[in-house]
Amino acid sequence: MVRGMTTNGGSQPVFCTIVPPHVLDRLARAEDPALSGPARRSLEHDAYQRTKRRLTTVIGAAAVAPPAGAAADQPHRTVYDAEHTQDLPGTKVREEGDDAGQDASVNRAYAGLGATFELYLKAYGRHSIDDNGLPLDATVHFGEGYDNAFWNGEQMVFGDGDDEIFLDFTIPVDVIGHELTHGVTQHTANLAYFGQSGALNESVSDVFGSLIKQYTLGQTAAEADWLIGAGLLAPRVTGTALRSMKAPGTAYDDDVLGKDPQPAKMEDYVRTGRDNGGVHINSGIPNHAFYLAATALGGYAWEKAGQIWYDVLTGGGLTEDALFTDFATLTVKAARERYGAGDELQAVKKAWEQVGVRTL
């Protein structure tokens, strides 16, 4: 059953930016104004959007209904250009079926929306993020040097980056998949965006974001880089990506950005009031569990490990305030239900054991 349909304003969309506020906070304190200026403007914008989302939720604005008969096996994409303003959605520049144009950001956004649609359809039989053919809209060239990308509950928005720390946010397809997966979660388990349930919400977005990249590249679990946001950091940054599912805490270690704060194990869980209780930090723990299960099973990670995680996200047993141990227990149950008492079950159990999360 699909919970959280937004037509009655019943579910709360998450305003999730791919770059967490604690990273931009640090950047905003940099001495070089070329670094701090864009970060400050991006933070101001994100704070404004968060407030606006809360107000929209209170008012209970109706979501845009998909056109009748849209739940087809084809995406329904529209890409807009904000032309460096903050006006959404901007000027329409590419619709479904149009040929690629000259603008690489437009082409990447269009392809990323398509890749996300395709993984969910081909691997899990899901028709778009609401499983009802929701049209996929994206705006590129948002703001001036805007250092982020986000899903606002209705559409994707991409900044160009400041070119000093962050490049164009349409570059990593896993970032697109991550943000759209927040929409899938919003329409299914609707995990509350705080503490452990918030970290699970973040982790589910990283898991499917990475799977979309792996599916696009035809990579097995062993071949994948398991990075989130590879290609997004400018050459001057000492780092490879925003996060690493393979080795949480090692994605970057930079003078300006600081060090990747993600733990890989429960014993290193970070208790903090920042970042909604560390949702982008402690997601390292379930992220690493998924990586361990997927690599132990081998082959394409979206097939077995991805299917088990998808079953948990959409199965109706996951509560909005779930803890890591609740999620872990449900993956064990899902593995048994789908694959019996075989290697899948053992791989999932062992993965959670290795990151120190108890399964019941």
When the beta carbons of 19 and 345 are compared against Zn ion, the nearer one is 19
Distance of alpha carbon 142 from its chain centroid, rounded? 19
**Catalytic-role residue among 45, 280, 288, 344:** 280
Instruction: Provide, rounded to whole angstroms, the least separation between the CB of residue 158 and Zn ion.
Output: 14
Task: Name the one range near Zn ion by CB under 5 A: 30-38, 77-85, 205-213, 214-222.
Answer: 205-213
Contacting residues for 312 by C-beta, under 8 A, at least 6 apart: 189, 318, 327, 330, 331, 334
Q: For the chain, how are helix, strand and coil distributed in percent, rounded to 5?
A: 45, 10, 45
Spatial separation of the C-alpha atoms in residues 134 and 6, rounded to whole Å: 12
What part of residues 12-31 is at the interface with Zn ion (CB under 5 A)?
16
When the beta carbons of 40 and 178 are compared against Zn ion, the nearer one is 178
Element counts in the chain: helices (H) and strands (E): 10, 10
Residue whose C-beta lies closest to Zn ion: 16
Instruction: Provide, rounded to whole angstroms, the least separation between the CB of residue 49 and Zn ion.
Output: 14
Specify whether 179 is catalytic: yes
Spatial separation of the C-alpha atoms in residues 95 and 100, rounded to whole Å: 10
When the beta carbons of 16 and 334 are compared against Zn ion, the nearer one is 16
Q: Does 282 contact Zn ion by CB under 5 A?
A: no
CA separation (Å) from 126 to 37, 184, 186, 210? 41, 10, 14, 17
Report which secondary-structure segment, H or E, holds 284: helix 284-297
When the beta carbons of 143 and 198 are compared against Zn ion, the nearer one is 198
List 155, 196, 205, 244, residue binding Zn ion (CB under 5 A): 205
CA separation (Å) from 13 to 86, 105, 182, 199? 20, 25, 8, 15
Task: Name the one range near Zn ion by CB under 5 A: 184-192, 199-207, 247-255, 269-277.
Answer: 199-207
**Catalytic-role residue among 179, 182, 187, 202:** 179
Q: By CB under 5 A, name the binding residues for Zn ion.
A: 16, 205
Which residues carry out catalysis? 179, 280
